[in-house]
């Protein structure tokens, strides 16, 4: 097994997970794989069951449902290429509607009722935090979380692996980039954020990043079910920030940007990765959206090289998701499914939950793919994706545009 310079296992073929490395369906090795079953781990002769949870019909569906579709599309491609060691990957998707009790029920189901080798998603940060004791007890590994709650990775948990850009890095890159590009010595910032665990966490990281530059940050909470952002924008008028940070769901950005335009708050804004969707830019229009950006460890298809985006674009069209190929959440789901496929491949012909955890916790790396920055897990760090870049939207070409390469923004991450 290949290793990195620091001794971690190297996932050697990230861009080829849907190719030959995943198509070991012929020959003697395949016959050995087909002889092994572990139903309690979701592993059968001809398939591996893998769980996914996400909000597909609730308040966060605008961002989480595309993520689920991206994950499913990548696995469709893997299966079309022969699966992994002769087995198809059977994705069991549960709609948890951004509801903590539903997330708990789904995890329990994946543990024993319809056992899975592992699961991905879990996009409610409050639910994820509350579920850590259950995860430790039932031991179904969570590989590629849609959001990574601080309690899930600090201290490092061998059963939980981040699959999305971290809030700390989002804050650091966003603040660093805008303070530098706007030439601000002591930036005045306002953070509009959901009043949930991840929102409080993100605002805390904004505080740290801004205060490091000698500036100030004002916290402005908003409800996930809010229908109007007037109170928040009135608070922005009082704060008079140099720029605004936005945490929430797609609706949050829509409400805040429209209210900012209505009340004449004409300052740049950046959002967390989840809110980098074409629908936000298209819905608010150029007047409100021209100064709106997001920071991301994933690259929309239109901002990536044709070679890096080719498989995603082709499979998205084939699955009827062509309109989502530029949705950062669809791209993120696609990348995480690639992570899962590589991890299962590394686990060999007789995969179990225990073996999967051993592979990941011992050290696992996926190189930058053109659709994401490099992902690294070590025994002491399970966040995964650490380097981000600011991204905006070009209304003239209707394409996303990056403000540099990932390497250009490493300076802001610590």
Confidence of residue 150 (pLDDT cuts 50, 70, 90): confident
Closest CA to 163 of 317, 337, 279, 28: 337
Tell me which residue has tokens 């329990």. Answer: 108
Confidence of residue 9 (pLDDT cuts 50, 70, 90): very low
Q: What is the Cα 173 distance to its own chain's centre?
A: 16
Q: What is the pLDDT of residue 35?
A: 75
Q: Name the β-bridge partners of 2.
A: none
Q: What is the pLDDT of residue 17?
A: 42
What mean pLDDT comes out for the span 5-22? Answer: 43
Closest CA to 388 of 371, 406, 403, 374: 406
Q: What is the pLDDT of residue 333?
A: 98
For residue range 244-256, what is the model confidence (pLDDT) as tens digits?
A: 999 998 899 999 9
Structure tokens, 318: 């084939």
Cis before 158? omega within 30:
no
What mean pLDDT comes out for the span 30-35? Answer: 51
For residue range 39-58, what is the model confidence (pLDDT) as tens digits?
A: 999 999 999 999 999 999 99
Q: What is the pLDDT of residue 196?
A: 87
Closest CA to 178 of 251, 238, 246: 246
Mean pLDDT of the chain: 92
Confidence of residue 267 (pLDDT cuts 50, 70, 90): very high
What mean pLDDT comes out for the span 103-127? Answer: 97
For residue range 365-375, what is the model confidence (pLDDT) as tens digits?
A: 999 889 999 99
Q: What is the pLDDT of residue 6?
A: 45
What mean pLDDT comes out for the span 102-118? Answer: 98
Q: How far apart are CA 362 and CA 7, in angstroms?
A: 9
Residues contacting 70, CB < 8 A, separation 6+? 321, 324, 327, 329, 330, 331, 332, 333, 334, 335, 336, 337
Q: How far apart are CA 141 and CA 354, in angstroms?
A: 9
Percentage of residues in the chain having pLDDT higher than 90: 86
Contact 70, 64 (CB under 8 A): no
Q: Which of 70-79, 146-155, 368-377 has the highest mean pLDDT?
A: 70-79
- 144: alpha, beta or left, given left = phi > 0 and alpha = psi -120 to 50? left
For residue range 54-70, what is the model confidence (pLDDT) as tens digits?
A: 999 998 898 999 999 99
Confidence of residue 197 (pLDDT cuts 50, 70, 90): confident
Backbone angles phi, psi at 290, to 5 degrees: -65, -30
Alpha-carbon distances, residue 179 vs 174, 242, 342 (angstroms)? 8, 9, 38
Cα end-to-end distance, the chain, whole Å: 30
Can you tell me whether residue 265 is helix, strand or coil? coil
Task: Write the DSSP symbol of residue 110.
Answer: I
What mean pLDDT comes out for the span 399-410? Answer: 94
Q: What is the pLDDT of residue 10?
A: 47
Cα Rg of the chain, angstroms: 21
Length of the chain: 414
Tell me which residue has tokens 């605004």. Answer: 244
Contact 80, 319 (CB under 8 A): no
Confidence of residue 158 (pLDDT cuts 50, 70, 90): very high
* pLDDT tops 60 at residue 23: no
Closest CA to 176 of 205, 146, 218, 147: 205
Closest CA to 123 of 154, 98, 106: 98
The neighbour count for residue 209, using CB atoms within 10 Å, is: 26
More confident call, 8 vs 383: 383
Q: What is the pLDDT of residue 198?
A: 87
Closest CA to 272 of 301, 286, 252, 288: 252
List, in order of start, the domains of the chain with CATH numbers: 9-165+301-379 (3.40.50.2300), 167-296+390-412 (3.40.50.2300)
Q: How far apart are CA 152 and CA 149, in angstroms?
A: 5
Segment (H or E) for 64: helix 61-80
For residue range 310-323, what is the model confidence (pLDDT) as tens digits?
A: 999 999 999 999 99
Closest CA to 259 of 242, 281, 235: 235
* pLDDT tops 70 at residue 13: no
More confident call, 247 vs 20: 247
């Amino acid at each position: 097994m290949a290793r990195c310079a620091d001794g971690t296992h190297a996932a050697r073929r990230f861009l080829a997970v849907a190719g030959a490395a995943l198509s070991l369906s012929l020959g003697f090795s395949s016959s050995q794989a087909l002889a092994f079953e572990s139903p309690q781990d979701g592993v059968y002769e001809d398939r591996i069951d893998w769980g996914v949870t996400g909000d597909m019909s609730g308040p966060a569906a605008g961002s989480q449902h595309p993520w689920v579709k991206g994950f499913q599309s990548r696995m469709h491609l893997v299966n079309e290429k022969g699966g992994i060691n002769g087995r198809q990957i059977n994705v069991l998707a549960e709609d948890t509607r951004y509801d903590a009790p539903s997330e708990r029920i789904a995890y329990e189901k994946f543990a024993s009722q319809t056992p899975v080798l592992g699961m991905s998603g879990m996009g409610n940060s409050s639910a994820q935090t509350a579920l850590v004791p259950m995860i430790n007890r039932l031991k179904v590994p969570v590989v590629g979380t849609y959001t990574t709650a601080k309690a899930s990775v600090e201290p490092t948990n061998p059963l939980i692996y981040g699959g999305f850009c971290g809030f700390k890095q989002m804050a650091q890159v966003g603040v660093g980039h805008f303070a530098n590009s706007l030439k601000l010595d002591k930036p005045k910032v306002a953070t509009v954020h959901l009043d949930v665990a991840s929102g409080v966490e993100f605002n805390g990281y904004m505080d740290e990043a801004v205060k490091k530059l000698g500036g100030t940050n004002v916290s402005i909470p908003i409800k996930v079910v809010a229908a109007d952002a007037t109170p928040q924008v009135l608070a922005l008028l009082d704060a008079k920030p140099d720029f605004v940070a936005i945490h929430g769901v797609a609706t949050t950005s829509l409400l805040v940007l429209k209210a900012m335009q209505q009340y004449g708050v004409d300052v740049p804004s950046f959002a967390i990765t989840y809110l980098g969707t074409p629908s936000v830019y298209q819905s608010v229009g150029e007047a409100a959206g021209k100064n709106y950006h997001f920071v991301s460890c994933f690259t929309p298809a239109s901002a990536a090289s044709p070679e890096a985006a080719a498989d995603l674009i082709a499979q998205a069209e084939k699955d009827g998701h062509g309109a989502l190929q530029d949705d950062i959440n669809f791209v993120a789901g696609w990348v995480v499914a690639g992570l899962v496929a590589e991890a299962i491949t590394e686990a060999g012909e007789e995969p179990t939950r225990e073996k999967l955890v051993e592979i990941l916790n011992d050290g696992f790396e996926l190189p930058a793919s053109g659709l994401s920055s490099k992902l690294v897990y070590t025994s002491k760090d399970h966040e995964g994706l650490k380097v981000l870049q600011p991204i905006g939207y070009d209304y003239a070409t209707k394409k996303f545009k990056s403000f540099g390469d990932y390497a250009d923004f490493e300076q802001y991450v610590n």
